[in-house]
């Protein structure tokens, strides 16, 4: 793993944008799986400004790596909706370059990706509980490829608040599991803030175990981890 | 992971030789870490025949990934000695392309490798107990880079028989740990024989856990696993 | 360029097969453009034996890089027909992995290839006049991408003999030009026989000029050139 | 080739910096050959700011690709001196990462580079006469690797003005020739300004010939060409 400790959120975003733009500038089709959440907000601000309406980035394709679908309504899931709002729509990405993951296609996603050369880059954040994508402690298995995770127990409690209407809470989440994410050619992990300091130390320097799902990421042969000083304060 | 099931030991050796020669044929410096043991005997027979005295393979460098040093005598360790006997000497590899791992350099090996572009390929076998390199169940931590493993307990029992003289039994083994091996750009894992069927199934399809060290290998983004029908008989 | 001089046609075929199989063994989609002619006959014999009915090569796709279409009949062109006979059919390649180049698609071929990651390997021979693909001295321009070459003058003379019926002689050949071929990630050039000794020397060590179309090939950053002793006899 | 047309010098510098930083962010040793001249001034301003005193770029090595040595004094040549002034010194690059090309080592440079993995990126400008590095029309041969170019005729006239003292004018220039530059894994070509419009059009869309040395560059399988609107005004 390559670890880069930077001053703050802004520098984390800037350094990360260099890595992402470096991959985007390749001469052929590029497949990227970008995260949602608060960590990449600064990154996407930089990237959107740079790639918006630039035809020389038309070969870049986007795949969301997890989804929390709505149970009843037929609208797109929460993750792809967020990703559109914070990144894809302001960047004016063509619809043909957007590949939403959902209940209808998750079982064939790994195969489909392989046919188009596989993922070139996954942009990841780390949860305070050590999760990445929808790989949560107590649920994640390092062996999982792209799977459905039944929304039960602690996970149900965690998610019920995020749906305005109870009838919309889905029976299951969908996520690329650790083995599917590690199959990407390159990984970028961003971690920011004091609240992440403890889990960041565990994930980067502690035992590699399923209770800290993010701990497996550092075994990837081409991962860059960009951490701000707050998140690195316990190293 | 890419899994290739072949008929027998001979075909495993042949298919593996294609993968190894493919890497060796690259146009620039290539760094390979080859395993010892009985599994690669057929592979090396093919490779030796092909690369012996061929100057167009002069850019290939060899690194052993583990070592059981002699405690008293100053001779080279058992692993590099075996590797020379079964592969490097018959292939007539120049001494400047051979990079023995030992007690004097194991702590700087990962750094040294990085300066020369890192490992391009590790050729691995799988022990009946799930070990690879000197990463044994009960001792291996997925987080380990290149480390010393104190020769104690079960491990002492396992190794004492392999030294003719008790005074030569070392205090510690040296091995590239799981995290050091997974940092290679490419991995090749060969498994052969009915005796490996149970562990092979566990390592490839079971839980990824330190009790089965080899189970972590399949998370590598560019691993090819070549298994003969006997070893695959429980899939 | 990496130059490998071998004893004879048989060794040229074997060494070349190692390079081709090395590329085919990659874990994701691989796009290969194979040549026809007499030079690769030994290579395809080895390869066919190895890949026939092997599902672990199902991710390899084949693109012919030139074509001499029939003018009147609607059957497939001469090149793809030959390629099927000598390689694709005996290797039992699935139809969906075969991508014939013809008059209907040559103008969009470069674009189509780019969308699927571009060519990973082109397998090339060298004509006694220095041509490769249908890039002939007096007609080839280094700047050409995939183009139509009007069948006139010397070229008409050259080709009219190869068609049984005069009405079938096409108005134009189709070929990936030098610039399209050099866009491949890797090139393999095979040259065999005393009759090629003079042009081989010119192409590899002489001036790089359009009169010797093959002279441009050695500027590619990842080309391996396998030459037998007869063809190398004037080096 | 991938062609990117941008608004002006500033945007050319910014887009180019993304490509350069993308290469620099790789996880292992990176070898870069940067140009001097006025074209990269904006690029280096951005890069210097970003990499200065950042230990996570310590694996990046720098090689100048041409040199105009002083004939009498023993000081470093003009090119490496300029490169230090405009880039390496303000970026505070460690001396061990700087590899000056000079009369003593030019004949072994290609070999030395190959042992360290070859060049990963060459950053190039284009002269109004179509030259790149010291590959001038009338002198450059596409077939040249790293060579000495006798300073005679037009070339002597061109260079005599750049030396304050006549006794310092060298007998020969040193340059990586077209074949040495094209051996790099990636190329970045920047062109800016109305004065370059005519040659830029010729080099990118005209005949590929030694009279326009830069015309060969676009055959590289991984070149990105960043041109501002002024330089692209005749496309």
CB-facing half-sphere around the CA of A155: CA atoms within 13 A: 20
CA angle A93, A96, A102 (to 5 degrees): 100
> Which of the residues of D are catalytic?
66, 129, 131
pLDDT tens digit sequence for D148-168: 999 999 999 988 888 888 899
Q: SS3 of D157, please?
A: helix
For the segment D186-205, the average pLDDT, to the nearest whole number, is 98
Using a CB–CB cutoff of 8 Å, tell me whether B59 touches chain D. Answer: yes
* pLDDT computed for residue B74 by the predictor: 83
Using a CB–CB cutoff of 8 Å, tell me whether B59 touches chain C. Answer: no
Residues in contact with B185: Cβ distance below 8 Å, sequence separation at least 6, in sequence order: A221, B118, B119, B120, B121, B222
- Count of the separate structural domains present in chain A: 1
Residue-range definition of the domain harbouring residue A217: 2-228
Q: Could you please report the per-residue DSSP string of chain B?
A: -EEEEESSHHHHHHHHHHHHHHHHTSSS-EEEE---SSTTHHHHHHHHHHHTT-GGGTTEEEE-SEE---SSS-SPPHHHHHHIIIIITTTT--GGGEE---TTTGGGHHHHHHHTT--SEEEEE--TTS-BTTB-TTT--TT--EEEEE--HHHHHHHHTT-SSGGG--SEEEEE-HHHHHTSS-EEEEE-SGGGHHHHHHHHHS---TTSGGGGGGGSTTEEEEEETTTTTT-
Instruction: Name the residue with tokens 């990407």.
Output: A184
If 0-12 CB within 10 Å is exposed, 13-18 middle and 19+ buried, where does residue D95 land? Answer: exposed
Over 90: is that where the pLDDT of C74 sits? no
Q: Which residue of D has its CA nearest to B116?
A: D116
Q: Is residue D234 part of a domain?
A: no
Q: Is residue C77 part of a domain?
A: yes
* pLDDT computed for residue D12 by the predictor: 98
Cβ atoms of D224 and D159 closer than 8 Å: no
Using a CB–CB cutoff of 8 Å, tell me whether C19 touches chain B. Answer: yes
Contact flag D2-A222 (C-beta cutoff 8 Å): no
pLDDT tens digit sequence for B23-65: 999 988 999 999 999 999 999 999 999 999 999 999 999 999 9
For the segment D89-100, the average pLDDT, to the nearest whole number, is 98
Q: Which chains have at least 3 CB atom pairs separated by less than 8 Å from chain B? A: A, C, D
CA distance C64 to C115: 17
pLDDT tens digit sequence for B198-232: 999 999 999 999 999 999 999 999 999 999 999 99
Contact flag A56-D23 (C-beta cutoff 8 Å): no
pLDDT tens digit sequence for B115-156: 888 999 999 999 999 999 999 999 999 999 999 999 999 999
Question: In this structure, what token pair is assigned to residue C80?
Answer: 């793809």
For the segment C139-165, the average pLDDT, to the nearest whole number, is 93
Tally Cβ neighbours within 10 Å of residue B73: 10
Over 90: is that where the pLDDT of C169 sits? yes
Distance from CA of D225 to the nearest CA of A (A): 11
Q: Is residue D235 part of a domain?
A: no
Using a CB–CB cutoff of 8 Å, tell me whether B155 touches chain C. Answer: no
Q: Is residue D161 part of a domain?
A: yes
For the segment C186-198, the average pLDDT, to the nearest whole number, is 98
Using a CB–CB cutoff of 8 Å, tell me whether B103 touches chain A. Answer: no
CATH number for the domain spanning B147: value is 3.40.50.1360
Whether this model's ipTM surpasses 0.90 comes out as yes
In chain A, what residues touch C116 (CB-CB under 8 Å)?
29, 116-117
In chain A, what residues touch D4 (CB-CB under 8 Å)?
56
For the segment B146-171, the average pLDDT, to the nearest whole number, is 91
* pLDDT computed for residue B14 by the predictor: 98
Percentage, residues of chain D above pLDDT 90: 91
**Residue B161 vs residue A42, higher pLDDT:** A42
Distance from CA of B183 to the nearest CA of A (A): 4
Using a CB–CB cutoff of 8 Å, tell me whether D59 touches chain B. Answer: yes
For the segment A123-132, the average pLDDT, to the nearest whole number, is 98
Q: Is residue A235 part of a domain?
A: no
Give the CA-trace dihedral at C50, C54, C60, C65, to 10 degrees: 50
* pLDDT computed for residue C116 by the predictor: 87
- Band (D199; pLDDT cuts 50, 70, 90): very high
Contact flag D221-C178 (C-beta cutoff 8 Å): no
For the segment D222-235, the average pLDDT, to the nearest whole number, is 98
Contact flag A182-B220 (C-beta cutoff 8 Å): yes
* pLDDT computed for residue B32 by the predictor: 98
């Amino acid at each position: 793993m390559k670890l880069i400790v930077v001053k703050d959120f802004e520098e984390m975003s800037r350094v990360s944008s260099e890595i992402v733009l470096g991959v985007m500038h390749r001469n052929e089709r590029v497949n990227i799986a970008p995260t949602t959440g608060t960590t990449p907000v600064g990154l996407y601000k930089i990237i959107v400004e740079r790639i918006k309406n630039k035809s020389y980035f038309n070969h870049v394709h986007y795949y969301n790596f997890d989804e929390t679908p709505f149970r009843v309504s037929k609208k797109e899931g929460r993750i792809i909706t967020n990703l559109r709002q914070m990144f894809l729509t302001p960047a004016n990405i063509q619809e043909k370059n957007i590949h939403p993951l959902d209940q209808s296609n998750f079982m064939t996603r790994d195969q489909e990706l392989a046919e188009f050369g596989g993922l070139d880059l996954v942009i990841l954040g780390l949860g305070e509980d050590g999760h990445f994508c929808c790989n949560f402690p107590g649920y994640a298995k390092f062996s999982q490829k792209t799977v459905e995770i039944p929304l039960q127990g602690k996970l149900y409690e965690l998610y019920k608040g995020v749906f305005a209407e109870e009838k919309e809470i889905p029976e299951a989440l969908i996520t690329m599991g650790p083995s599917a994410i590690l199959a990407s050619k390159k990984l970028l992990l961003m971690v920011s803030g004091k609240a992440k300091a403890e889990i960041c130390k565990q994930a980067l320097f502690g035992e590699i175990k399923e209770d800290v799902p993010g701990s497996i990421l550092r075994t990837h042969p081409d991962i860059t981890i960009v951490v701000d000083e707050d998140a690195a304060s316990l190293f």
